[in-house]
Structure formats: structure tokens, C-alpha cells
Structure 1
Amino acid sequence: MKLRSFRFRIALLSALLAGTAIAGFSGVTYLLFYQSKLNTIDNEIKDQLLRESSVPRPLNHWQIYEQHRSAFFEDRMQNAIALLVQDRDGKTIYQSNNWQTALNPAPLFVNLTEPKLSNLPNLPLPSLNPTLPTPPPDRPPPRLLQNRESTTGTTENRFAARLPDRPAPRPLEEAFKSPQVISSLITSKTPTGIWRLGTASTPYIKIAIAVNLGIIDREMSTIQKVFLIAIPLTLLLMMVGAWFLSGGALKPVKHLTETIRRVNAKGLSQRTSVTDLDIEFVELAQVFNQMMERLERSFLQASRFSADAAHELKTPLAILQGELELALQNTETGSTMQQTLSNLLDEVCRLSSITRKLLLLSLADAGKMSIQKTELNFSQILYEITEDIEILAPELSLKLDILPDLKIWGDRELLTQVLQNLMNNAIKYNLTGGWIRIETKVKNNSLLVTISNSSHDIPLSDRDRLFDRFHRADPARNRGLEGFGLGLSLSREIARAHNGNLQLETSTQGFTSFTLTMPRSIPQR
């Protein structure tokens, strides 16, 4: 049987929904953080590419630059930056020690077409101390203009190269400005990790800068640890909260269950309160109360009818039995009339017994069975019953194991009726040449009387209904003796009225066994 718990399913569903939401939010947050840090690195790479490729640099600049940039990342990760610098012909000018072949950006460099600068043919790579270009021989050398006084009274010193046929050349710094192309940043995987690579190309130089993305991974590891701790803890809190919340919500159902458990023939007045209930449970409580009212009314009507009918039948049956006995005495012995009156008297006695038992059952159902308790010697009662067995069924073998002087507190007449019912059943449903065994023992201050007899096995369907009123066993099991199916039911009610019980033993094959349990406590006098 599978364990099904509504509270557990509510807690599990709450944790599942919350876990899905938290996992989705955490995943999106993680990606946004990662993308933000990646954008920061991309912007830093682009900024460095633009800055370092804008003007020519001396050869010793790149080593100093790499050391400077490495120090920038040193607190987060060593060897986090790799640098490759080439000239316009693809010859390596500088390469970092941690540069790898997998990062070779040769296909990524953009080959720029050399700009058409008519006034700067075959412009060489400028040095740190550039000099003015030597003018062609067909041009007159520039001359220094004499100081002349301007119209405003100021003196101008101008250095200008007079080119009579061509426009004046551009300033020197414009000669160093060249078009730059920065390729799209890519991610490259190498044996040492994953790198973010960017390149820049000018007519004079090609630069590639790579940053190890392990920097981001190390920074994101803290966020991962926070998520790994916070998410399970949050889910646990959600489950615990949902468990207690559902428990509080189901309190009305628990209260209703406890009320139903107290319902029996003596407790049909049980009702559940509708105050302080959630609106979802108010209708359930009202329907339950209405059902209990109908049940109590129906049960009282049936119980009252049985009691009234039994009580009303008692007197006429007693009168009829007396008249039949008188008529039987005045009838000729052995005549047909005597036989007829004898049969009628048996049926009247039978009806009187049924009426008396129905009256006792009605009183038991209403909790009004009158019990006159006195101190009894139960061993003596059992011996008296065994004498009846020897008279009624002398062919049966009787086995007794009765403890002496068993004192209990109860109603002698009612308990004798219980034992008689059990003995009659043992005789009626016994086998030919069978046996009856009576055993007594004391356990936990209770007296246990077990009455067993040889019999056919009782089917499971009949076992569950043996104590039902008016239930008759399989006709194939009886020997044609009379009975009307009220003896066992009445016997159990009498035992329960004495705070005891009567039950059928389960593991019996080839015989039937009933155990009567009675308390042994004697009131203090």
C-alpha cells in the first residue's frame, strides 16, 4: 500500500514550483552577470586595441605594456593576458610567453589596402624621432620668411615651404594617422582555457590581445556557491512552511475525523462546530452535521420501534404461551390436538425468545441495558453449563481446562445467557463424534474463556458476518437445529456492556474457537 499524504504532496508541489522559479531566476541572473562581465572585458580589449594601434610604438613598449596589463589582472588570475604584435608584412615584433598557436589570429587580421596618399609615396614606418621629409629636387627649398610687422602691430615668424605648383604638405602628425580596423571579438578554446580574442590592423602594425575567461569563471564561482547554498536552503524552508501551512489548513478535516471516530450507537449526538472555519470547510461541516441529524433520527426511530414492538409483544406472547400450556394439559395424551398444541407452544416460545433478545439489543443500542452487577464465581457458572452439554450432546467429547475460583463482577443472568449461546453454537455446528473444549486463563487482570469445537472451516465471507443480526451460517454446516441469528450479536453486546469483548479466533482450521474476555477488577467495598 502506497503512502499517500495530502500535506506531503502540497509541500512537495510548493517546493517544486518554488524550485523551478528560483532555478529559472538564478539561471537568468547568472547569465546576465556573466554577460555583463564579458562585455566589460570586450570593452577593455577594444579600448586597448584602439589606443595601442593609433600611433606607432617603439619595440620596448610592448613588453612594458604587457607587464602593466598583467599587473592589472594579477589580483584575479596570473597569465590572464596574451599579446601578439606583427608588422605590416606579418613579421612578429612581440609575442607573449603564454601565447599559443590556437590563438594565432592570422586569418582574423584584416588586410587593409594601402591608402592612396599622393603626397606621401612609400611612407616608411615612423620612428620615435621623425624628421621632416626631404623635398624633391624639382621643388625649391623652403625658406624662412622674414619678420614682418602685421597690420595689427604684431610680429609673425612663419616657417613655410613655398610650393608654387602644389599645395602645401599636411602636418607631420597627420602622416602618422592611419585607418584602423578592429575585427569582431571571438572566443577561442585552448588547452590552457578559454580566451577572448580581439585584433586590430593598421597599414603599419597588427595587434592581437587575448584575455583568459578564467577570470570570469573565478569571479562567478562565488555566485555559484551562493546559489548552491541559497537554493536548497530556500527549497527546504518552502517545504517546511508549506507543510505547517497545509497542516493548519487541514485542522478542520482532522477535527471532523475525530468527531466521526467518536460516532457510535451511543454517540450519534456528535456535531462539529462551524465557527472559526475557513469558508472552504464550512459547507463540509454543515453537511456532516445534517447527516448526523438524519442518522440519529433514523436510528432512534428504529431503536424505538424495536423496543416498543418487543415490549408490546411480550405480554400477548406470555398470555398465549400460558393458554397453550393450559390447553395442552387438558388435551388427550397422544392425540393429534396435543401434537398440534405442542408445536404451537414451541413456536410461541421461539417468538418469546426472539422478542426478549430484540428488546435487549434495543436497550444495548440505546445504552440502556440494565446490568445488575454482583460478585460471581465464574468457574462455577462454567461447570453448570458443562452439565447441560453432557445432557444435550452426550456423543460429543468434552475437554475442560477451567481454573478454580475465578471471581468477576457482572450480571449472572446475562453472562449465563452468553455462555449458553456459545455452548448451543458449539453443539449445533459440531461434527459427528466431535469434541468441545473449554479453557480459561488470566492475562493482564482479564479473564479469557475460550470455547472451541470441531467443525467445518468457516468461509471468510461468513467470518466477517458472524456477529451480524439475523445472519445464518451456511445451511450445509448445520445439522438442522433451530436458530435465528441473534445469539452471537446479543452475546457480544452483553460482553461489551461489561467492558469486555467476544471475538472469533482467526487462525483455526478444522475447528471453531470463540474467546470471551472479561475484566477481573472487583470494586472495593
Structure 2
Amino acid sequence: MTRSPLPRLSLRLRLALWSAALAGGALLGFALLSSWLIYQAKLDSLDARLERTVPPGRPGDRGNFSPGDRSGLPPNPEPDLARDLGLPADAEVGLLIVGRTGEVIYQSPQWPSAIAQISPVPDPTQGRRGPRRLMTVRTPDGPWRVVVRATPMGQLAIAANLDALRQEMATLRRIYALTIPGLLLVIGGGAWTIAGQALRPVRQLSQSINQVTAQGLHQRVPADPDPEFAPLISAFNAMLERLERSFQQASRFSGDAAHELKTPLTILQGELERAIQQVETGSAAQQTLSQLLDQVRHLSGIVRKLLLLSLADAGQMSIQRQPVDFSALVQDQLEDLSLLAPELAVTAEIEPGVRVMGDRDLLTQVIQNLITNAAKYNLPQGWVRVAVNRADSQVQFTLTNATAPLTATEASRLFDRFYRGDPARARQTEGLGLGLSLAREIARTHGGNLALAPSPDGEARLELHLPLSSS
């Protein structure tokens, strides 16, 4: 089973998301880089303090310790040592003093057990601030930063737990985690607003395109001061102007042609009727004239439909509105269907007394076109179902007939002018494919609509909606 493609996001949303993504990447990179730089800066500062700091004691004895002599150290030197290192008083700080002969002079209680011993720093003859070594030692309690320095009396090691520094960095990361999403929302919202303002001319253009109908070709899109959209709007307005001019010319031509053909066809029809009465009944001449008269009547019907369609295209179809008993009108046309196709099984459910406000002649033509179409494209020994009922403030006329399954192309072009569908499904009744198109135009002129409704295979269902009469 194939999966349907996911709907594509709108351009405005994509611009906002891309802006937020780019800003998020930049903020995340800034957060990572700044965190690393701040950590390194704090670590360098701690290293500098570790190198400068000496164990607290009497001023004259700082850094001078005799083997086994702790007289120069206070009882608990770690808090003072933490303060000298710029750390909280409760921070874990360790002090280890080893004499020249390797004996331990002093070792803090919290001295990490992982640092069991310290390697001697060479060349201890360079005074109190002789050679030194910095290193980071990993322990179960966390990493410790250790400095080992040589003194005239031996080795001095000061260790500081980096947990306090890591907590500071964790606090900074939490601040980033709280502020960056808020900044991304602000950036995304700002990008959404800016994109909406930037795409405003496009929305106006879309609204104008949606309003382009046969009666709305005179509309124009207001000029936009933005230079990016001005050429597009000018080109669209020029296209509308060309379409309006071409449509008016085509509409005038079809209307004028139909009007000019109407008079000679009427005269020709009258002359043929008179000639038929003058020739011998049943003669070959009368049969020929009858056939010609049928063709003239057929041509007159086509001209009349073309004239109505041209008037509908121009929005000039005039209707004489009056109350019409729609139920009785449909019933009368169904009686004609029994004569047109007596082999069809007709079922009717007509609600009595349904009245509409409209032109009786035009509405009669609509129902006649629909019923004729149902008989023309029906199946042998087929059926027709007709229903008329009220639905809210409208009357709904439903006509369903048996037919061969409609293809997607046939369903989409059912109301196109001069479209007749598959010739194999047509019966002996002739036509030019104008009936359904004209019926829909008349329905729309009355404030209603005609559409093909969904139906099972082997059926065609047309629904006509018209506004009910207020009376």
C-alpha cells in the first residue's frame, strides 16, 4: 500500500522554521563555544592561583617546614587555602607537604586517595618558587586540579576539586537551556510576522485570482510600493486586461451571431412548415421537407442555447422571477420521460407544494435537459430515480440514473460545453453537449447550483439546489 505524500508546509511557515533553525544553530554554537571558553578561563585562573598560593602560616615561616615540624601551619589550613584560591570556604581543597627525605609533613584529611604520592619536581634549588607541575587527576569524587611545586624543604602539592567549577558551568548551561528556547520562539515569531508582511502582496494576488470569473475580469490588484512585487502585479493586471478584452469580444461575437441567426432560422422554419402543407401528403417531397424542418428546429434550439450561454457569460441573463410550483413542474417533465424512453423504470419521490422563485420557462428547460441527459446516457432497460424535497432554505432536486461507470476525466468535464463523453454510451438521441452546461448556468443565475454528487459505480447522481420561495 502506497503512502500518501505529506502535505507541504506553507512558505511562511518554512521561512519561520528556517529562521529559527539557523538562529538555533548559531545560539547553540555560541553556547558551546562560550561555555568552553569560560571553563578554560576559569581553569586558567585557578591554575594561576594554585601556582601563587602558599600554605597559610606565620609570615616568616610560609613555605619553610622542617621534617616533622607543623608549627608553621594553623590547625585547619584548608578554609584559608580555599579562600586564597578564590573558592568557597566549604570547597574541597587538599594540601600535601613532603620533606626532602620523602616523609609526609602534612596531608589534608580530604586529600584524594587516588593521589597516593607525588612525583618529585626536579631542581628544587631555585627557591620557594622553583619548578612546578600542573596536572588533572581523575578520582571517584571527580576531577582534581593538582599543582606540585618544589621548595627548599621538599615537595608541596595543592589540590582543588573541580566540582565547584563544574557546578558553575552546569548553572551556566541551565541558563542557556532556559533562555535559548525563549529566544528561538521570539525569533520564530518575528520571522513569521516579517514573512507575513513580506508575502502580503502575494495574498492579495491570490485573492484577486480567486475572484477572477466571467463577471470579475474588470478587477485589478492594487499596485504595491515594494519593487520586488511591482513587476508581478503589473504583469497580472495586464493579463486580466487582455483576458477581459478577449472575453468581451468572444461574448459579443457569440451573442451577435446567435441573435443574427435567430431571425433567418425562424423565417426558414415558417417557410418549410408552409411548404409541407402545400405538397402531397406522404410524398417523398413532404418527407424531405419534414427532415429539413427537424434539422432547422434542432439548429434553432442550438442557437437559443448559445444565446443564453453568451448572456450568462456576460452576466446579462434576464429572468422573470415569479413563484413556480417546482413539484408540479418536475412531475410534468417526468410524464414526458415516459414518452421519450418508455423502457426505463422511473421512481419518483416528490414532496408536494415545493415552490421556488424563478423563471418558469428557464427552470423547465433545466429539468428537461437533466431528464433528457439521464435518458440519453442510461443503460438498456435501465432506471431513473427522481427526488424533490426541502433542505433548509433550499429545494433539492436529485436525479440518479443507471449508467456505465464514469471515468475521472468524464466526471471532471461533465459540465464542459460541447463535451459529450464516450460515444459508446450515447443512445439514439442526438445532442451537442450544451444541456448540462446551460442547466448549471441557469441554476446559478437563480442563486443555486448544479453539481455531480458522489455515487456508487454504475450510477450518476446530479443534485440541483435552488432557493425556496419566500411565500
Common topology (TM > 0.5)? yes
2:421 alignment partner, SS class: coil
d(CA) in 2 for partners of 1:477 and 1:77?
98
Contact 2:138 2:144 in 1 (8 A): yes
Is 1:102 equivalent to 2:51 in the alignment? no
Cα contact 1:105–1:199 (8 A) shared by 2 = no
CA distance in 2, matches of 1:77, 1:16: 43
Matches of 1:304 and 1:11, distance apart in 2: 49
Aligned equivalent of 1:164: none
2:430 counterpart residue number: 482
- Map 1:136-155; keep pairs closer than 5 Å: none
Query: How far apart are residue 361 of structure 1 and its match?
Result: 0.1
The structure having more radius of gyration, on CA atoms, is 1
**Structure 2, unaligned runs of 5 or more:** 1-5
SS class of match (2:53): helix
TM-score by length of 2: 0.91
CA deviation profile, 1:47-104 (whole Å, cap 9, x unmatched): 1259987644652323544453146579726252111111111111111111134224
Report the Cα offset of residue 179 of structure 1.
7.1
- The residue that corresponds to 1:30 in the other structure is 35
Alignment of 1:88 with 2:36, yes or no, is no
Shift of the alpha carbon at 1:343?
A: 1.9
CA distance in 2, matches of 1:68, 1:454: 102
Please say if residues 347 and 386 of structure 2, whose CA atoms lie closer than 8 Å, have aligned partners that are also in contact: yes
- Provide, for residues 142-182 of structure 1, a one-character-per-residue CA deviation record: whole Å limited to 9, x for no partner: xxxxxxxxxxxxxxxxxxxxxxxxxxxxxxxxxxx847532
Structure 1, unmatched stretches of 5+, are: 116-176
Q: 1:503 aligns with which of 434, 451, 461?
A: 451
Deviation readout 1:286-309 (Å, 9 max, x if unpaired): 111011111111111111111011
Taking a change above 3 Å as real, the CA distance of residues 482 and 77 of structure 1, as seen in their structure-2 partners, is: farther
Taking a change above 3 Å as real, the CA distance of residues 416 and 33 of structure 1, as seen in their structure-2 partners, is same
Q: Partner of 2:138 in structure 1?
A: 189
- Distance in structure 1 (CA, Å) of the matches to 2:36 and 2:187: 25
Does the aligned pair in 2 maintain the 1:49–1:200 contact within 8 Å? no
Specify which of 187, 206, 213 is matched with residue 238 of structure 1: 187
Name whichever of 187-196 and 322-331 sits farther off.
Answer: 322-331
**Is the partner of 1:61 in helix, strand or coil?**
coil
The superposition leaves residues 381-440 of structure 1 with CA deviations (integer Å, 9 ceiling, x where unpaired) of 122212222333333333222222222111011001111111211222223333332211
Residue in structure 2 matched with residue 60 of structure 1 by the alignment = 71
Residue 493, structure 1, aligned to residue 441, structure 2: yes
Q: Which runs of structure 2 are paired with 1:27-426 in the superposition (5 Å)?
A: 27-49=32-54, 55-56=64-65, 58-64=69-75, 65-70=77-82, 76=88, 78-107=90-119, 109-112=120-123, 178=127, 181-275=130-224, 277-426=225-374
Distance 1:53 1:104 in 2: 24
Deviation at 1:205, TM superposition (A): 1.4
Cα deviations across residues 279-335 of structure 1 (Å, max 9, x unaligned)?
A: 211111111101111111111111111101111111111112222222222223333
Deviation of 1:500 after TM superposition, in Å, equals 0.9
- Compared with structure 1, are the counterparts of its residues 31 and 508 closer, same or farther at alpha carbon in structure 2 (3 Å cutoff)? closer
CA distance in 2, matches of 1:371, 1:320: 28
Tell me how far apart the structure 2 counterparts of residues 300 and 49 of structure 1 sit (CA, whole Å): 101
Cα shift at 1:516: 1.6
Deviation at 1:226, TM superposition (A): 2.0
Query: Quick one: which amino acid aligns to residue 322 of structure 2?
Result: T
Aligned residue for 1:8? Answer: 13
Query: Which amino acid letter does the alignment assign opposite residue 94 of structure 2?
Result: A
Bigger relative contact order, structure 1 or 2 (CA pairs below 8 A, ≥6 apart): 1
**How many angstroms apart in 1 are the aligned matches of 2:300 and 2:79?**
119
- After superposition, residues 434-453 of structure 1 pair within 5 angstroms as 434-453=382-401
Deviation at residue 29 of structure 1 after TM alignment: 2.2
RMSD: 2.3
- Give the TM-score, by structure 1 length: 0.82
1:131 counterpart residue number: none
What residue is the counterpart of 2:3 in the other structure? Answer: none
CA distance in 2, matches of 1:219, 1:510: 76
